[in-house]
Structure 1
Amino acid sequence: MAPSTRSILFTSLLTIPSLILAQKTAFLEDFAILDEKDERKPPFAASTVNKWDAGSYPQFCYDTANAAKGTDDPRRNCEIANVEVFDVAYADCPDKPWTVCRCTDAQLSVDQMVNAFGRVPPGVRSHVVHIFILDGSRPDGSIGKSGGSNNDRFVIRGPIDDAAFAHESFHSVDKGFSSQSTFTDAYDADSCVPDNYANSSPAEDFAQLGTWLDYDINGVPISSYLDKDQGCMKNQLEAVRAYATQYIDLNTSECFDRRPNDGNVTPAASTGVKALDVDDGPAPPITFEFEDEW
């Protein structure tokens, strides 16, 4: 279903009483250590990048750009004149390029965006239709780091670590698995979760476990630089591995035909005026199904 041009409203899984009844000990405070050194990260696929001419945008990117940053921040996520659109063909999926968007004031560069998304295994990446890289500035002048995911599309805000791209992608891999007994029983059998953020909900725990496995399998084994016993979350790791390893492991992970791209929007084309000549103010802020802060 194409997203509305005024707002995108979804019921957040985070507003539903959690299927995980009690928080567990966090194995790590956060995932910063995974991206601390480049050699720990999964490799990124080589890519060919082609920039679109200005004036046409995937529906998701147009709607997201036109929405306010937040209820306390009436600025648009991105002025339409500042939206860049690219086709990115990765070497592991050369005939299935992704159409991705970036705001020119985003803290992440085009290369950082392309390479971070290219580190996501092709079988995981193929669950994602579009991404949009945005500025993370706040009304007080600080720079935040966050992401939001809806309907196999996600945004990244601010100077975020590469692991966030994997995390947001794994929300699209989940498809309800994190609410099934196979996963919740594994959770109940363990005494810890990967990090503090994994305690937020079953879906966030799943996304962090998927990211952990991605880095552990495709990067440097985490045990080689983190001398801690991971046995406290072994059942969760085994459950996610059994469910998603064919998408995660670069030895088996392959791209596949994604859901179709959004239709393209050419603002105000029917009236014969340029998009920049029309300004009705920003749309309401978007409520993402998964809203992640780092």
Structure 2
Amino acid sequence: MASVLHFLTFASVLLYSLPVQAAKATVIKDFAILDEQGERKPPFAASTVTKWQSGSYPTFCYDTARAQKGNNDPRQNCAINNLEVFNVAYADCADKPWTICRCTDAQLSVDQMVNAFGRVPPGVRSHVVHVFVVDGSRPDGSIGKSGGSNNDRFVIRGPIDDAAFAHESFHSVDKGFSSSSKFTDAYNADTCVPDDYANASPAEDFAQLGVWLDYDTNGIPIANYLNKDTGCMANQLRVVKEYAGGHINLDTSKCFNRRPNDENVSPAASAKVRAANTGSVETDTVENEASEPETLPPVVFDFEDTW
């Protein structure tokens, strides 16, 4: 199967990074306050987690794992021997389990990964096909926190707050709404956006507004712990609620039949087929090809988010 990874041209990357217009005032600097206390977060759905046997991986996870971390970091995102795959059946979507991947050196544990994605309302979560959690280390030894979203699949890097899982999921909910005249008119009628990151682009503004509505609706109302006037972004909140509120509010949010999972890649089986076709019988060669696959260029995601 052809790789599901989508590589953008430089012009496309610039398009996604353009701001809505001149930066607006912000209600808060960032969303850290939303996750500061557990009771502020939306509840997470109970789940049943089943780990796959090693050797087979969704294409998105396999290709992302063997891609470089960055242009200046030749390390792979995850050594194939460290790539774990899980089926996660959430109680609110018990018959529609997700296939989620994790690298064993990731800063987030399996429970943190599963619960953070489980906090995303089922109607929003159902827009996402696969999630892959990896290590956030940089060449200088520091640990970054970031995410990348593309084609209804996203990567989480480093010890990130739970709100990031909702943010990346809302990129899949967007489907062009953030570039519509309805959203643009609402933006232009307001004088502020939620936080600094919302000023990055219409799509990032939409995603942050979605997170705001999620936490405000399903957690403790934000006004209960944040003494800020949010009337300056009332029009944006209104149109996002009209567009996606049914998916956000846990009283109405329901899972649905999402896009199909990727086909699975079995490196060892593929290596054996190639060896047979070329007449090679070297066991070590087959095993090395399966466990140390070719490194791919860094993935360029439609949305690249850093916290």
Both structures adopt the same fold (TM-score exceeding 0.5): yes
- Judge conservation of contact 1:24–1:191 (CA < 8 Å) in 2: yes
* 1:92 aligned counterpart, secondary structure: helix
2:59 pairs with 1:46: no
1:282 aligned residue: 295
Choose between structure 1 and 2: higher helix proportion.
2
After TM superposition, the structure 1 = structure 2 runs for residues 189-208 of structure 1, keeping only pairs within 5 Å, are: 189-208=189-208
2:133 pairs with 1:133: yes
1:96 aligned residue: 96
1:73 aligned residue: 73
1:166 aligned residue: 166
How many angstroms apart in 2 are the aligned matches of 1:253 and 1:277?
42
1:36 corresponds to which letter in structure 2?
Answer: E
Query: Deviation at 1:22?
Result: 1.6
2:116 aligned residue: 116
Query: Deviation at 1:14?
Result: 5.0
* 1:236 aligned counterpart, secondary structure: helix
How many angstroms apart in 1 are the aligned matches of 2:13 and 2:189?
22
1:26 aligned residue: 26
Query: Deviation at 1:274?
Result: 3.1
- The aligned length equals 292
1:137 corresponds to which letter in structure 2?
Answer: S
Query: Deviation at 1:282?
Result: 1.2
Percent identity between the aligned chains?
A: 71
* 1:85 aligned counterpart, secondary structure: strand
* 2:139 aligned counterpart, secondary structure: coil
1:9 corresponds to which letter in structure 2?
Answer: F
- Judge conservation of contact 2:198–2:206 (CA < 8 Å) in 1: yes
1:243 aligned residue: 243
After TM superposition, the structure 1 = structure 2 runs for residues 228-267 of structure 1, keeping only pairs within 5 Å, are: 228-267=228-267
- Judge conservation of contact 1:19–1:184 (CA < 8 Å) in 2: no
C-alpha change, 1:13 and 1:162, in structure 2 (3 Å) is farther
How many angstroms apart in 2 are the aligned matches of 1:130 and 1:49?
15
* 2:246 aligned counterpart, secondary structure: helix
Cα deviation, 1:172-210, whole Å, max 9, x if unaligned, reads 000000000100100000010000000000000000000
Cα deviation, 1:145-180, whole Å, max 9, x if unaligned, reads 000000000000000000000000000000000000
Query: Deviation at 1:270?
Result: 3.3
1:136 corresponds to which letter in structure 2?
Answer: G
- Judge conservation of contact 1:80–1:276 (CA < 8 Å) in 2: no
Cα deviation, 1:33-73, whole Å, max 9, x if unaligned, reads 00000000000000000000000000000000010000000
1:10 corresponds to which letter in structure 2?
Answer: L
TM-score between both structures, scaled by the size of structure 2: 0.92
Bigger CA radius of gyration = 2
Gaps of at least 5 residues in structure 1 are none
* 1:116 aligned counterpart, secondary structure: helix
How many angstroms apart in 2 are the aligned matches of 1:41 and 1:230?
19
* 2:93 aligned counterpart, secondary structure: coil
- Judge conservation of contact 2:35–2:41 (CA < 8 Å) in 1: yes
User: After alignment, is 79-88 or 22-31 more displaced?
Assistant: 22-31
1:15 aligned residue: 14
* 1:132 aligned counterpart, secondary structure: strand
Query: Deviation at 1:276?
Result: 5.7
TM-score between both structures, scaled by the size of structure 1: 0.96
Query: Deviation at 1:228?
Result: 1.0
How many angstroms apart in 2 are the aligned matches of 1:158 and 1:193?
26
User: After alignment, is 70-79 or 16-25 more displaced?
Assistant: 16-25
How many angstroms apart in 2 are the aligned matches of 1:245 and 1:280?
43
How many angstroms apart in 2 are the aligned matches of 1:50 and 1:275?
27
* 2:169 aligned counterpart, secondary structure: helix
1:225 aligned residue: 225
User: After alignment, is 264-273 or 132-141 more displaced?
Assistant: 264-273
1:287 corresponds to which letter in structure 2?
Answer: V
1:223 corresponds to which letter in structure 2?
Answer: A
Q: RMSD value over aligned CA atoms? A: 1.6
Query: Deviation at 1:3?
Result: 2.5
- Judge conservation of contact 2:80–2:292 (CA < 8 Å) in 1: no
How many angstroms apart in 2 are the aligned matches of 1:181 and 1:275?
53
C-alpha change, 1:15 and 1:86, in structure 2 (3 Å) is same
Gaps of at least 5 residues in structure 2 are 273-285
How many angstroms apart in 2 are the aligned matches of 1:225 and 1:43?
18
How many angstroms apart in 1 are the aligned matches of 2:205 and 2:234?
13
- Judge conservation of contact 2:271–2:290 (CA < 8 Å) in 1: no
